[in-house]
Amino acid sequence: MRKLHEWFQQNQREFPWRKTPTPYKVWISEVMLQQTRATVVIPYFERWLTLFPNVRTLAEAPLEKVIKAWEGLGYYSRARNLHKGAQQIVEYFGGEIPSNRKDLASICGLGPYTVGAILSFGFRQKAAAVDGNVTRVVARYFSIEENVDQQSVKRKIADAAESLLDATEPWITAEALIELGATVCTRKPRCEACPLQKNCLGQHKAEFLPITTGEKQVTQLKRAVALIESGGKILVKKGERGKVMADLYEFPYFEMGEGHWTQKAIVQAIQRTLGLPVEIVQKLPPITHTFTRFKAHLFPICYTTETPNPIAGYEWISRELLSELPFSAGHRRILSL
């Protein structure tokens, strides 16, 4: 693996989490990097460390403040798990992130990859961190022509990745494999630039590896979104626990199905479900919002009402305070309009 180490030292990208890594920095960065591009994560990571510089400050912070700091990264269960995980670390481990696999695995939200990353990059132990990039590299390097989504094959990939780790500096190998998969051994591989090309068993069929189950179908949603204002306050609802948008604020919306509702139909839905007589002010530009396996097409319209009655599950919030609340990505974009 010496060639891989040399390649990594010369070609590694500069990221703030790679400077003076600690178990806490590794934990936060690796969770942020799940489902998110590294360039997007940088400002979030830096701001996070300013707000929550260590486990205790994160554990003691209000959940709403944590969600607000995460706003825009998506997959908000990651932020909730970080908050709960920090509280567990304070309660059971005295505020210190444990340095063994068993204890790390007991912390909320820590799966095999994140555990491996913390052990490797944070504690410099011999542990593989197998994400999608490493899976791709290992499947090609060892020419593993099996479905990598199967548990038995995942174990085979993990064992194979571990076998590649350097005896004296295993953490460098682990991070180099991730970097290789992210920049060279990508979906469309650049085998000519790969330091492992000479011994790679799958280079001639690299474009067909790894074998996966395939992409899940994206469900299309069409929603009429109502921005209802009364006396400088706007009606919003906080997502319920256990739901996709838990702890995030959104404006009232209505599923339109495959068709497209008329303005009259939307007004009738508002009156029927919220009990509010409203008047249309203006239509806003449509917005497309993608989350998990859904693609929501949002059609926002501004309304006013003279009867801001209390509505179960909803809150009337002043314009000034709205910017301080964590919104789902699509509704935050509507708010910015």
Verify that 121 and 224 share a domain, yes or no. no
3-state SS class at 221 = strand
What pLDDT does 222 receive?
92
pLDDT digits (tens, 9 = 90+) for 289-320: 887 778 889 999 999 999 888 898 899 999 88
CA Rg value for the chain: 24
Are the beta carbons of 195 and 11 closer than 8 angstroms?
no
Active site residues: 30
Looking from the CA of 114 toward its CB, the CA atoms found within 13 Å total 27
Name which of 105, 106, 124 is nearest 115 in CA terms.
105
What pLDDT does 254 receive?
93
Tell me which of 109, 125, 141 is where a domain ends.
125
CATH of the domain at 60: 1.10.340.30
Q: Is residue 205 part of a domain?
A: no
> What's the CA gap between 276 and 269, in Å, rounded?
10
Q: Is residue 139 part of a domain?
A: no
What pLDDT does 304 receive?
94
What pLDDT does 243 receive?
66
- Mean pLDDT over 239-257 rounds to 82
- Mean pLDDT over 136-148 rounds to 92
CATH of the domain at 250: 3.90.79.10
* Backbone CA torsion sign across 142, 147, 153, 154: positive
Binned at pLDDT 50, 70 and 90, residue 242 comes out as low
> What's the CA gap between 131 and 78, in Å, rounded?
16
What pLDDT does 308 receive?
85
Tell me which of 59, 91, 125 is where a domain ends.
125
What pLDDT does 115 receive?
95
> What's the CA gap between 12 and 123, in Å, rounded?
20
pTM: 0.75
Tell me which of 125, 156, 172 is where a domain ends.
125
Q: How many domains does the chain have?
A: 2
DSSP per residue over 67-117, as a string?
HHHHTTS--THHHHHHHHHHHHHHHHHTTS--SSHHHHHTSTT--HHHHHH
**pLDDT of residue 142 exceeding 70:** yes
If one counts every other C-beta atom within 10 angstroms of the C-beta of residue 245, the result is 18
- Taking CB atoms within 8 Å and a gap of at least 24, the contacts of 11-18 are 11/179, 11/183, 12/175, 12/176, 12/179, 13/38, 13/179, 13/183, 15/42, 16/42, 16/45, 16/46, 17/45, 18/175
Q: Is residue 166 part of a domain?
A: no
Q: Is residue 32 part of a domain?
A: yes
Q: Is residue 150 part of a domain?
A: no
Report the alpha-carbon angle 222-223-228, nearest 5.
165
If one counts every other C-beta atom within 10 angstroms of the C-beta of residue 53, the result is 12
What pLDDT does 72 receive?
84
Name which of 217, 212, 216, 206 is nearest 149 in CA terms.
212
Choice among 112-126, 162-176, 234-248, 281-295 with the minimum mean pLDDT: 234-248
Q: Is residue 187 part of a domain?
A: no
Are the beta carbons of 293 and 219 closer than 8 angstroms?
yes
Q: What range does the domain containing 110 cover?
A: 2-125
pLDDT digits (tens, 9 = 90+) for 43-98: 999 999 999 999 999 999 999 999 999 988 888 889 999 999 999 999 999 999 99
Q: Which helix (H) or strand (E) holds 2?
A: helix 2-11
Q: Is residue 159 part of a domain?
A: no
**pLDDT of residue 216 exceeding 70:** no
Binned at pLDDT 50, 70 and 90, residue 126 comes out as very high
Chain mean pLDDT for the chain: 90
Q: Is residue 75 part of a domain?
A: yes
